[in-house]
Amino acid sequence: MNDLLNQFLTVRSQSEELCAPLLAEDYVVQPKEFVSPPKWHLGHSTWFFETFLLQHKPGYSVFDPHYNFVFNSYYESVGARVIRTDRGNLSRPSVADVYSYRKHVDLHLSEWLDQWTNEEPLRTLLMLGLNHEQQHQELLMTDIKYILGHNPLFPPYDLGYKDPEDFSSGAEAYIQIAEGLYDIGYADDGFCYDNEQGRHRVWLDGFTIAAQLVTNAAYLEFIEAGGYGDFRHWHAEGWDWVQKEQVKAPLYWHEIEGEWMEYGLSGLRKLDPEGLLCHVSFYEAAAFAAWRGMRLPTEQEWEVAALAFNWGRRWEWTNSAYLPYPGFCKAEGAIGEYNGKFMVNQMVLRGASDATPLGHSRVTYRNFFHASARWQYSGIRLVKQ
């Protein structure tokens, strides 16, 4: 078995392992527009391989012609699709059907891979498909957490689930980075997304960045100081969001009979003050920083500092909007829809999280979400003004 095949089978089986603790019912629901049903993730990542790779395999016929309609996400080039808000309205294809679909595609792709002699551009597309599936593995976990964590019964995903020991070491240390010209963007010859390419120079003024991420305890002080009720810390849009959504704490935090509890994958538990803060929106991150008289880093500052310190335990909001790097060019065809068309009204997150598949992220990786998103594992790192 060649390496590619091995890598393919590994990634594919990881998606299924993540779903092992689920009941059939958990695969189906979509409590909010931004959540996708687990079943859909399993089908969509499979559809990606079928559509962009297997269509080139001689003699391959699609598993079910309706699936293109069901499992296309946002590729306008590839035809009509179920509208995003309707994904949770579909009881069929069933979970069993989706696993059959995966088996079918895995089988045909495996057979084919075995005969490959590392031919381009198929190899590039395969790598994109694998990274795409890894991205969906992270979304799968955050969506599962949302589905279970918003159920009135607070069912655990896995009673024995252990969050990695991602606690603060205590002291509030800062790192100074000198002004100068720095190179930003991907420079190696492995896989990266098009949005990281185009390595380019930037000038950075000197800055002082926290060595540690913000802890739950530090954020509790903000809550207790009335931070959610004082407009002065917030962006105007953030303030509207807080009022409209009646936000009073990070997602998954519940004040129950005077005690702060947090829903985690092992169920509802007491909030650990030493733990790293997670599940805040960009608005909350920026308001917290303003309250502390500090700010968030830009993505360039982050990249420069992270290189030296190997960060990546939480996605970290930056104060950078998601925009193209100099020289960015969309690829031709459907693959060109992967990144570029989202480059407006989103903020960049850097790092990685417990839910990120091992080896998927890197220091140049640009994650991006709307400023109000907080169901991802998103935390805060401060920079002195």
Q: Is 380 near its own copies (CB under 8 A)? A: no
Q: For its own copies, which is the closer residue by CB, 96 or 358?
A: 96
**Which of the residues 339 through 368 are near its own copies (CB under 8 A)?**
341-345, 347
Q: Site for its own copies (CB under 8 A): which residue of 20, 83, 153, 358?
A: 153
Q: Site for its own copies (CB under 8 A): which residue of 217, 220, 261, 321?
A: 321
Q: Site for its own copies (CB under 8 A): which residue of 8, 15, 18, 26?
A: 26
Report d(CA 144, CA 36) in Å as an integer: 9
Q: For its own copies, which is the closer residue by CB, 2 or 91?
A: 91
Report the half-sphere exposure of 286 (CA within 13 A, side-chain side): 21
Longest dimension (CA), the chain: 66
Q: Is 323 near its own copies (CB under 8 A)? A: yes
Q: Site for its own copies (CB under 8 A): which residue of 116, 161, 174, 231?
A: 231
Taking phi first (over 0 means left), then psi (-120 to 50 degrees means alpha), and beta for anything else, what does residue 341 get?
A: alpha
Q: Which residues pair with 294 in a beta bridge?
A: 384
Q: Is 236 near its own copies (CB under 8 A)? A: yes
Q: For its own copies, which is the closer residue by CB, 166 or 337?
A: 337
The distance of closest approach from Cβ of residue 285 to its own copies in the complex, given in angstroms and rounded to an integer, is: 11
| 288 closest CA partner among 256, 319, 243 | 319
Q: Are 328 and 197 in contact (CB under 8 A)?
A: yes
Q: Is 324 near its own copies (CB under 8 A)? A: yes
The burial class, CB within 10 Å (0-12 / 13-18 / 19+), for 77 is exposed
Q: For its own copies, which is the closer residue by CB, 104 or 123?
A: 104
Q: Is 202 near its own copies (CB under 8 A)? A: yes
Q: In what order do the strands lie in the sheet with 294-295?
A: 174-177, 207-210, 383-384, 294-295
| 111 closest CA partner among 54, 43, 68 | 54
Q: Site for its own copies (CB under 8 A): which residue of 92, 103, 248, 270?
A: 92
The distance of closest approach from Cβ of residue 14 to its own copies in the complex, given in angstroms and rounded to an integer, is: 22
Size of the site for its own copies (CB under 8 A): 71
Q: For its own copies, which is the closer residue by CB, 267 or 273?
A: 267
Q: Site for its own copies (CB under 8 A): which residue of 33, 221, 237, 274?
A: 237
The distance of closest approach from Cβ of residue 279 to its own copies in the complex, given in angstroms and rounded to an integer, is: 19
Q: Is 50 near its own copies (CB under 8 A)? A: no
DSSP 137: H
Distances 143 to 3, 26, 366 between C-alpha atoms, Å: 31, 10, 20
Interacting span for its own copies (CB under 8 A) from 44-52, 55-63, 159-167, 314-322: 314-322
* DSSP string over 43-106: HHHHHHHHHHTGGGSTT---S-TTHHHHH--S-GGG-----GGGGGG---S-HHHHHHHHHHHH
Q: Is 256 near its own copies (CB under 8 A)? A: no
Q: For its own copies, which is the closer residue by CB, 30 or 135?
A: 30
Q: For its own copies, which is the closer residue by CB, 152 or 164?
A: 152
Report d(CA 132, CA 127) in Å as an integer: 8
Q: Are 93 and 101 in contact (CB under 8 A)?
A: yes
Q: Which pair of tokens denotes residue 201? A: 């120079």
Interacting span for its own copies (CB under 8 A) from 124-132, 157-165, 195-203, 266-274: 195-203
